[in-house]
Structure 1
Amino acid sequence: MPKAMREILQNGNSYDETDRMPDNITITHFDIIMYVVAIVGHFVDLGLDINVAVRYSMAQKMVEFGWTLAFILLPAFVNTAVSIRMYAQDKQQVSITNEVTKRHWLRIFILVLQMAPILRFTDALIYAIKSRQAETKRDHASQRHYYKLMLKEDADAALLRIFECFLEAAPQQVLQTSLLFALRGQFRVHQILSICSSLIGMGWCLAAYQRAVRFAQQDKENMSWTGTVLQTLWHFLVTLSRVMSISVIAYLYPYGTILACAIHIIIMTTWLQLFDRSPFCAHNKMAELSFSLALGGVYLFTYILPIEGRTRYRYAIYYTICFLQNIACGVIWFLAVPDDIRSSVVYLPVLIFTVVPYIVGICLMVVYYSFFHPKRGKSSSDMSVSFKVNGQISEIS
């Protein structure tokens, strides 16, 4: 895998090196099980979402059916487009993903069944098994070769995981939570199952993403498990708070929420185009704008940086704006919620979840960058996120 770019941090002599592959490598049963769980979990999450959509259709709730189906297909479309772009950047590698995406008619199959991340997981699983088999045969060259290929597929899936997390799992939670309030008593079990599966899927995507990116880098100190847990919890709690805040407003004012989210996405897309334009799709202006638009959708829930640069001031602006939005959502819920919900057991927990997880998440972010962020020299206060650019995974710190 090509060597990742070294990122210079906030001070001239202080830099954070990318993760390196350990000298003593081995594939454990746990690694293989993790890939299998990721593949199975993806289909379970998708199946539960489809189940809810079918229930809405059978009950003639066509608006609810349409929105649920849209939040299934739209992320699949984005992931497929990004995966095909990755394939175009890496034509020389022979893998299941590349072989399948050569066939245009199979792209529809990938799109409908949200197979783009699964193909990457499958490639990584195959390479993991081959690396383990080479280890048992004491063929260390092959072992290391397949281990590198496994890490590369994991890194390729990192961006897909981000889009899957914030364009499918998080919006699906918003939709089903708001519908759970609106359709009181109807489809309750199916909605709760969909919400729980999306919640677990979101947490899994974040955890898998953080580890995959760090271990795919070849010259950075590997993140500790404590750091991984803190970073995952930070993003998870912030996203959970955003999900709850948007959900309560979507329940009270659905059309106003659509308008507000659209404005937020347009502003974030403009921000990206003006200041943080990613080179990932620089080959085509329309693709570049579409990529920024997709990232703008991600920015409804959390902030990631697609280019090299300092994040301190960006973080301060973004998280302040979102915190004020969350407070506004909590105030609106407090003032405008119907009396029957105000007297129910969900009223106070919902009010708390619009703000408290956000504050805890930001506190965890501060703790992470103060004590657990891999660094050399002086500490940094930047976030790490990776994008594949011209066949490389570039980490922005």
Structure 2
Amino acid sequence: MAVKITFTKFDFALTLAGFLLYFADIGTDLWVAAVYFNDNEFTWFALVLAAISLSALVLQSFSWSWYQDDRKIQQQQNSSETQHSHYQSRSSTCPWLCVLHIFQLGLPVRFCKALRLGYKAAFKQGDTDSAIYALADLSMLRLFEAFLEGAPQLVLQTFILLQSKDSNFIQYGSVIASFTSISWATVDYYAALKRSLPNPNLTCGFPVVFYFLYKLLTISATILSITLLVSLHILAVVAYLLILWSIMMVHVVRQETTFCNSKCQEIIYRIVVGIILIFTFFNVKGQEIRLTLTLYYIFKVFATTFIISLCWILKGSSVDKGYDLSISMSIMLSLTIGIVCAVIYYRCFHPQVYSTAATDEESNNSHTTLQLPATPDEVDGFQPENSTATLNNVSENRDVIHSSVPQSSKVNRRITNCLRE
């Protein structure tokens, strides 16, 4: 018997929290920009506004192209039974959606739609597939926004706070909101991937807590280390980020990703992933990642230690502002605890730890089983060996989900790319 995929009230709470954090982050950034403008700090104002604008343009282009892709999918449907209102609403609203994207409102519109569909699915037994489909797109856009806009803003705001003698509460609020928003975006993406698996219990409780702490602490350590390097010299941090981004881009290009339909957007996608990899681990394609993840954080520890050592060696007492020791200790402590949380998560809470028994039980009760080779199940993990997948004519995800899955016409190709490639 197939396991029914559900959208729980906890899933809706995650979506609502992400909605509030997104607007809090954007609102505080704009407020900070206004404060800099009023204080005649035009350099800081321009940098804050540039980060917001560049991120918005990239996100709107992805969002609009995904609407276009979904409209093409709808047009290719041969059976009238698969043309649900979920797709019809997308294709019929293209003109005004285009206008909204031009005015940088694509993401708020997606949030409103996801909240509406999520509320119906969680509280009124609405269309679960539509809610999961909408939230999958939104979670990926939020992840892009977090590292295109949030992370650079966070480095800038943290540096300004350390250098400035007259900081105000809105600057501290912006830093706190950005830290939380970035970490929450990774958790929201994690939840979206887990919803693509048939076990609804994978997105609640201790797995979320440890995953959130793992991302929050490791990302915080990276941002603080970059901030410490900025205080040494601006050219030093530019050189470091270019070298690090180049290394990550080599890794991304070697994966030969096929995330986007157009070549131009695929290049933009790879650039974005390269930026994400500067701050946190991101499995470009759904591969076995234990070795890659281990090597990534070994490299991260080495790079962080190198930055701290370099700053202590090259900084003289004349430029020492008195915060180097506290920041250095915070960096190493955050990175260490974050890696420990990652180990606990993958050892105790990752789906591969406790999905085998459920899979075997479901296989015994199913009439259609298929033995598949070990393939990846999600962006931060892989499927256990010799797993059994039960298929109900869902060809699009037959290579990724190692449990019984319900038949659905609304499989989000963008998420399944991450799950299966």
TM bin (shorter chain)? 0.7 to 0.9
Are the structure 2 counterparts of residues 116 and 322 from structure 1 closer, same or farther at C-alpha, using a change threshold of 3 Å? farther
Find 2:240's aligned residue among 244, 250, 260: 260
Structure 2 residue 49 is matched with structure 1 residue 69: yes
* Structure 1 position 180, deviation (Å): 1.7
Aligned counterparts of 1:373 and 1:391: Cα–Cα separation in 2: 18
- Per-residue CA distance 1:118-163 (angstroms, 9 max, x = gap): 3222112111333467x4xxxxxxx35x222111111111211211
- Helix, strand or coil: the match of 1:304? coil
Find 1:129's aligned residue among 104, 119, 136: 119
- Helix, strand or coil: the match of 2:351? coil
- CA RMSD in angstroms, aligned pairs only: 3.2
Partner of residue 280, structure 1: 259
Are the structure 2 counterparts of residues 308 and 392 from structure 1 closer, same or farther at C-alpha, using a change threshold of 3 Å? closer
Aligned counterparts of 1:332 and 1:162: Cα–Cα separation in 2: 31
Partner of residue 23, structure 2: 43
Find 1:158's aligned residue among 129, 136, 139: 139
Find 1:173's aligned residue among 154, 164, 170: 154
Find 1:109's aligned residue among 100, 103, 106: 103
Find 2:339's aligned residue among 344, 353, 362: 362
Counterparts in 2 of 1:16-55, with a 5 A limit? 21-22=4-5, 25=6, 28=9, 34-55=14-35
Are the structure 2 counterparts of residues 323 and 41 from structure 1 closer, same or farther at C-alpha, using a change threshold of 3 Å? same
Contact 1:162 1:205 in 2 (8 A): yes
What code does the residue aligned with 2:237 have? T
Contact 2:70 2:90 in 1 (8 A): no
Partner of residue 293, structure 2: 315
What code does the residue aligned with 2:269 have? F
Percent same amino acid among aligned pairs? Answer: 23
What code does the residue aligned with 2:47 have? W
**Higher Cα radius of gyration:** 2
- Per-residue CA distance 1:46-69 (angstroms, 9 max, x = gap): 111011112222223222112111
- Helix, strand or coil: the match of 1:307? coil
Aligned counterparts of 1:298 and 1:107: Cα–Cα separation in 2: 24
Aligned counterparts of 2:226 and 2:3: Cα–Cα separation in 1: 39
Structure 2 residue 62 is matched with structure 1 residue 82: yes
What code does the residue aligned with 1:167 have? L
Find 1:353's aligned residue among 307, 316, 330: 330
- Per-residue CA distance 1:248-288 (angstroms, 9 max, x = gap): 111221122122212221221222112x232112x332222
Q: TM-score, normalised by structure 2?
A: 0.75
Partner of residue 236, structure 1: 216
Contact 2:28 2:174 in 1 (8 A): yes
- Helix, strand or coil: the match of 2:143? helix
Aligned counterparts of 2:143 and 2:201: Cα–Cα separation in 1: 23
- Helix, strand or coil: the match of 1:354? helix
Contact 1:100 1:106 in 2 (8 A): no
Contact 1:249 1:257 in 2 (8 A): yes
Contact 1:333 1:351 in 2 (8 A): no
Instruction: State how many pairs are aligned.
Output: 358
- Per-residue CA distance 1:187-240 (angstroms, 9 max, x = gap): 443321211110121232222222232123336873552122212211221111
Aligned counterparts of 1:295 and 1:210: Cα–Cα separation in 2: 16
Partner of residue 7, structure 1: none
Partner of residue 165, structure 2: 185
Contact 1:152 1:216 in 2 (8 A): no
Aligned counterparts of 2:319 and 2:240: Cα–Cα separation in 1: 24
Q: Which has the higher contact order (CA 8 A, sep 6+)?
A: 1
* Structure 1 position 394, deviation (Å): 3.8
Are the structure 2 counterparts of residues 240 and 391 from structure 1 closer, same or farther at C-alpha, using a change threshold of 3 Å? closer
Unaligned runs of 5+ in 2: 75-86, 358-373, 381-410
Aligned counterparts of 2:91 and 2:241: Cα–Cα separation in 1: 34
* Structure 1 position 348, deviation (Å): 2.7
Aligned counterparts of 1:254 and 1:54: Cα–Cα separation in 2: 24
Contact 1:97 1:123 in 2 (8 A): no
Aligned counterparts of 2:30 and 2:68: Cα–Cα separation in 1: 31
Aligned counterparts of 1:49 and 1:21: Cα–Cα separation in 2: 41
Partner of residue 118, structure 1: 108
